[in-house]
Amino acid sequence: MLKLVGVETYYGKVKALHGVSLEVKEGQLVTILGANGAGKTTILKSISGLVEPEQGTIHFEGKRIDRLDPEKIVSMGVGHVPEWRRIFPELTVKENLLMGGFLIEEKDLLHNRMKEAFHHFPILKKRKEQKAGTMSGGEQQMLAISRALMIKPKLLLLDEPSLGLSPLLVQDIFATIKELHKSGVTILLVEQNVNRALSIADYGYVLTTGKIFLSGTYEELLDEEKVREQYLGEGKYVRRSKLWSGS
């Protein structure tokens, strides 16, 4: 469904992605793991057209989508929930959802989708006339996801949905993601919460400084000592004196 081949993306002169190749098959939940600054967010931004890769190709459902404007890519069925949610704080909850459905022309369809969103997250219905910025982090995340779901995307890109949420809310959000996946949405999930992400994912990629470093299923990745070392927090034993010797 989604295929990246040798994608290289720059921010000005800084190279953020050094030839990333990955694939998401229809119905899968794929996760990208990696430390801060590894380029996870850049991969998602490259897919949805917010940044344009210098090299490489991105295909969605067989069509080439790098070089397209973001609005075109959205209209093809790619939803993107950005890092830190980025809801429109001064707009009401209802207006936020309306914007999520900006590309929907038929009024009835738009109305139905909004009803579905309210059905899924009753709290949003309760707050529909409230300014979105006044809601709690968890509620904002639910709004951000509902907003992206308004167009019924075939592929949903989720960028660290658990960021800044309490452990209890993180659990809720992951339950929601699992449910979405079950209902047939293909998902590409970026997370720092490695254990949780891998536990719901079909396949995972590990990214280090702009390169895919490892990939595999949950079990395969858990077996990899390197992942455990670098991302699951078990750490390598380093002699402290060595740190001072400068070698």
Partner 1 sequence: MEIFIGLIQESISGIALGSIYALIALGFTLIYKATEVVNFAQGELMMVGAYINFYFVTTFLAQSGEPTIGVFFLAFAGSIIFSFVFGWVLDWVINRPLKDEPIFSVIMATISLSIILRALVAIIAGPMSLIPYSPFGNRVLSLNGIIISALDLSIIFSAIVLVTIFYYFFNKTKWGIAMQATSEDPVAAQLMGIPVKRVYGLVWIFSALVATISGILLAPRMSLLDTSMGFLGLKAFPAAVLGGFGSIAGAIVGGIIMGVIETISMGTLSFHFKWIKEMNDIIVWIVLIAVLMVKPDGLFGEEKVKKV
Cα separation, 150 vs 112, in Å, equals 10
Which residues are CB-contacts of 38 (< 8 A; sequence separation ≥ 6)?
207, 208, 209, 210
Among 37, 52, 75, 195, binds partner 1 (CB under 8 A): 75
Cα separation, 112 vs 151, in Å, equals 11
Nearer to partner 1, 157 or 198 (CB): 157
Q: Which of these segments, 33-41, 81-89, 197-205, 231-239, binds partner 1 (CB under 8 A)?
A: 81-89
Minimum Å distance from CB 70 to partner 1? 4
Which residues are CB-contacts of 212 (< 8 A; sequence separation ≥ 6)?
20, 21, 22, 205, 206
Look at residue 236 and give its three-state secondary structure. Answer: coil
Q: At what angle do helices 167-182 and 137-149 cross, to 10 degrees?
A: 10
If one asks whether residue 163 binds partner 1 (CB under 8 A), the answer comes out as no
Nearer to partner 1, 8 or 95 (CB): 95
Nearer to partner 1, 40 or 147 (CB): 147
Among 34, 39, 82, 204, binds partner 1 (CB under 8 A): 82
Please report, as residue ranges, which positions from 87 to 126 form the binding site for partner 1 (by CB under 8 A).
87-91, 95, 98-100, 102-103
Cα separation, 147 vs 128, in Å, equals 13
Nearer to partner 1, 5 or 98 (CB): 98
If one asks whether residue 86 binds partner 1 (CB under 8 A), the answer comes out as yes
Please report, as residue ranges, which positions from 16 to 55 form the binding site for partner 1 (by CB under 8 A).
48-50
- Strand duo 2-11 + 55-60: pairing: antiparallel
Q: Which residues make up the interface to partner 1 (CB under 8 A)?
A: 48-50, 69-71, 74-75, 79-80, 82, 84, 86-91, 95, 98-100, 102-103, 147-148, 151
